[in-house]
Amino acid sequence: MTAATPDVHTARRRYVVVGVVLPIVITLIAVVLMLVWLPEVPATVATHWSGDGPDGFAPAWAVPLIAAALGAGLTALLAVMVLVPSRDGAWGATSRLLGAVMLGTSVLLAVTLTWSFGMQRGLADPHDAPNVLVPLAVGAGAGLLAGVAGWFAQPNVVTSGASGPAAQAVGAVSLAPGERVVWARTTTMSGVAMLAVTAGIIALALGTIVLSATGSDSWWIMLGATLMVLVLACATFAFRVRVDRAGLTVRSSIGVPRFRIPLGEIAQAGVTTVQPTAEFGGWGIRIGLDGRFGVVLHAGEALQVARRSGRVFVVTVDDAATAAALLEALAERTPAEYPAASHPRVPPGGGDHGILG
């Protein structure tokens, strides 16, 4: 674990201002305005528009409630994703980007929801609500400007823990001619990440219940989002990592998604250390700002494989050194060295994790 430097402390404090304090203040102002206007709007207000005008409605009191839940929930979720993993001193451009995104999102939501709510003051029938295109356009523009300002308001701090694709090379494990070896491990998402994803699912489910109970026609959209996030969570909470004569296979515990790199495509296998938020912006199936792609479920040791095409694949897994050494050894073999049957063994360092075949 790397101690946080003064630069990282500064970056974290600035993130708190940009990505936590300002979004909460902006959300609070929006909610207060809507509560003040509540007696002036119809008991049921328009919440969704199409080309023909309003086509979705909800009780007026539900709008400030939803605004508060979205603003506070998203702020808390991103704060956990950024601030908890960075306690060990890792910081990168992705953490800075998430702070800017949170500020821009809070402005977008506040402007759009408050304006569309306020323009219904004095109406007797929510079907008469004006078009929402102007609030959407202004909200998007204000959110973009706020996000850019939030980016430049934070220092450009990149620590060694977020330095990118450098990996430690390992020597190929010694294999006897014709020997077959299989290495396998299960890697799971960190507890913090599981908690954050679960909290998001619960928030979406509660939103679905609220919209359904209030008679809004938009509840099915929220239900679809909830089910989609639930499926994605089940697909990314745990992966099985396997190295054998077929190459590297990384498969979700439910079978999909599945990633495979044949031995012929491997240029080099090595070991690296990954900080999910600083390098990849979170957990799951990720693409880093440096172009690396992979399965990033927790901080720490990871297997990094460079393809001959130049692309780099990363998977966070324990005992990555053994996996890399075995990949190096298998990649050096010629097809003639793969017999139909032989006596397998556990690779050095494999311990109980080796699966023989």
* 167-196: pLDDT as tens digits: 677 776 677 777 778 889 899 887 777 887
Look up residue 219 and give its two tokens.
């509840």
- Comparing CA positions, the residue from 287, 303, 318, 288 lying closest to residue 247 is 303
Rounded Cα distance, 250 and 242, in Å: 6
Confidence of residue 342 (pLDDT cuts 50, 70, 90): very low
Angle between helices 93-118 and 6-15 (to 10 degrees): 10
pLDDT at 38 over 80: yes
Q: Which secondary structure element, helix H or strand E, spans residue 259, and what is its range? A: strand 258-261
Least confident of 57-61, 85-89, 348-352: 348-352
Which range has the worst mean pLDDT, 14-18, 177-181, 244-248, 272-276?
177-181
Q: How many CA atoms lie within 13 A of 116 on its CB side?
A: 31
- What pLDDT score was predicted for residue 230? 84
Q: What is the mean pLDDT of residues 274-291?
A: 78
pLDDT of 289 strictly over 90: no
User: What is the pLDDT, as a whole number, of residue 82?
Assistant: 81
Q: What is the mean pLDDT of residues 107-132?
A: 91
Say yes or no to pLDDT of 347 above 60.
Answer: no
Q: What is the model's pTM?
A: 0.65
Minimum mean pLDDT range among 108-122, 206-220, 226-240, 304-318: 206-220
Q: How much of the chain, in percent, has pLDDT values that exceed 70?
A: 86
Burial of 76 (0-12, 13-18, 19+ CB in 10 A): middle
pLDDT at 335: 55
> Residue 144: what pLDDT?
95
Tell whether the model's pLDDT for residue 346 goes beyond 80.
Answer: no
Length of the chain: 357
- Among 254, 258, 211, 260, CA closest to 231: 254
pLDDT at 42: 92
CA 45 to chain CA centroid, Å, is 34
Please state, in angstroms and rounded to a whole number, the distance separating the CA atoms of residues 20 and 23: 6
SS3 261: strand
CA pseudo-torsion sign 247, 250, 251, 256: negative
Quote the CA–CA distance of 120 and 143 in Å, as a whole number: 23
Tens of pLDDT, residues 17-31: 999 999 999 999 999
Closest C-alpha among 273, 291, 274 to residue 283: 274
pLDDT over 90 (residue 286): no
What's the token pair of residue 211?
A: 């919209």
- 3-state DSSP assignment of residue 255: coil
pLDDT of residue 74: 84
How far apart CA 82 and CA 100 sit, in angstroms, is 12
Question: Residues of 266-279 as b/e, b for ≥16 C-beta within 10 angstroms?
Answer: bebbbbbbbbbbbb
Calculate Rg over the CA atoms of the chain. Answer: 25
* Cβ-proximal residues to 249 (8 Å cutoff; 6+ apart), any chain: 240, 241, 242, 243, 258, 259, 260
pLDDT band at 290 (very low <50, low <70, confident <90, very high): confident
Nearest to 274 by CA among 295, 297, 293, 301: 301
Report the run of H or E that residue 244 belongs to, with start and end.
strand 238-244
- Judged against a pLDDT cut of 60, whether residue 213 lies above it is answered with yes
Q: What Å distances lie between residue 224 and 68, 182, 218, 220, 254, CA to CA?
A: 21, 40, 10, 6, 20
Looking at residue 51, the DSSP 8-state letter turns out to be T
Q: Indicate the range of 1-5, 76-80, 279-283 predicted with least confidence.
A: 1-5
Structure tokens at 324: 């890399």
Q: Is the alpha carbon torsion for 27, 30, 32, 35 positive or negative?
A: negative
What is the arithmetic mean of pLDDT over 313-337? 81
**Residue 26 · residue 71 · CB < 8 Å:** yes
CB atoms within 10 A of CB 88: 18
Pairwise pLDDT comparison (86 vs 183), residue with the higher score: 183
Architecture field, domain 168-189+238-353: Roll (2.30)
Q: What is the pLDDT of residues 130-152, one digit of tens each?
A: 888 899 999 999 999 999 999 99
Contact 270, 312 (CB under 8 A): no
